[in-house]
Structure 1
């Protein structure tokens, strides 16, 4: 009998291929063994996905250092984990648009004059969220290189910083999915949840980087201040690029027009009252 994946001849009675590690499948596919395989891969406590998710919460340095050092069997591959996060992010906005459209209303965190423009920005982010997630990783990795210049104990190259932020941003996306959907069920808008959870997500990144780079508190505070400064600079650049794209594809004009109509409606309402 040969391995169905790499075609090498198998040792008799072996359960896994001794070359590629694939599980040997002898039984014909049925609903029962399909469900059994699904349960084994995703529902039991020892599966890689659950182990990766829990470890990235409790000991993120173990997952990331293991992958960087070459130990890659225990946890989900970083590419697969990030691809899962992108899929979940797309599912999140689909669920909100389909079942909780009011959750995408930005009025709760906006003035009457800015609600329409904020909604247009949210629509833009929703439309390009997959591209934004992909671009976030190299940007955060570059910021991290700048922040951790001079860190000798754990000096990672740019590719290794990419791995760090792919894991961390994927984890935040998966956590955010549950927070946003549960909050939408409770009547909170996406804007309100983002406003509340934003600081908590930054705390998680800080907590993870402190453990990954094994920083003492003084060094951690110093790096945090540098990170905030770099984040502000990159945030300004990102905002300019985003509004530039919105300008060229017509979304910026829609945003300005929506804001103008909101201001005019507000003036009419005031005149009517007076």
Structure 2
């Protein structure tokens, strides 16, 4: 395909119907290529803005600022491979497992943001918010619409599975959602519970084994071990404030003695 044909195909893809209709008259003009490029750039920018708003990722620390030395165990290579988004091509799920404060949500949000930048649709939600919302719906039609909303994005990020316990209905709803997305779209989950303890998250739910099996089939499971980074930062802030107070005390006592 020569340059002129390529430009015309791009104009058709943009649905610039007036331009395409008069292509024989203006196709060779110098302004056509910049015009098409500007339109592509502007539409891509607006599309990204719409998807970012719809994703509701919130604020998070960039991967470039992540302290890889803090966790006692973390597979950095595996996480950097996730940033290539190859897992999306096979609709593979991703599960981050680890205790509170080791960066599970931050890493998951970075992967999801990378997917947004590359044109995919994303939705971020906490497990509690999503399951509470679904369980509160009374009519079947409302539930179907809401399930579709969570099932539709290319990437669904479910944060904080395991921080609360849920009823059998919640378990059934999560199983239904995971089943709808199974092998068609990627789901990212963060959890502080190993899979063997999910029966504590969904006590007495008959579908727990099937739920885990469906979620982890061909999934990338990233286990992270270590102390909470938030506690580390809190200790450091406390130490800084203590030193500042001690310094002020010394200055005050010195001034009083003079």
Tell me if TM exceeds 0.5: no
Structure with the bigger percentage of strand:
2
Structure with the bigger percentage of helix:
1
Q: Structure 2 length as normaliser, TM-score? A: 0.30
Q: Structure 1 length as normaliser, TM-score? A: 0.29
Q: Which structure has more RCO (C-alpha within 8 Å, separation ≥ 6)?
A: 2
Larger Rg: 2
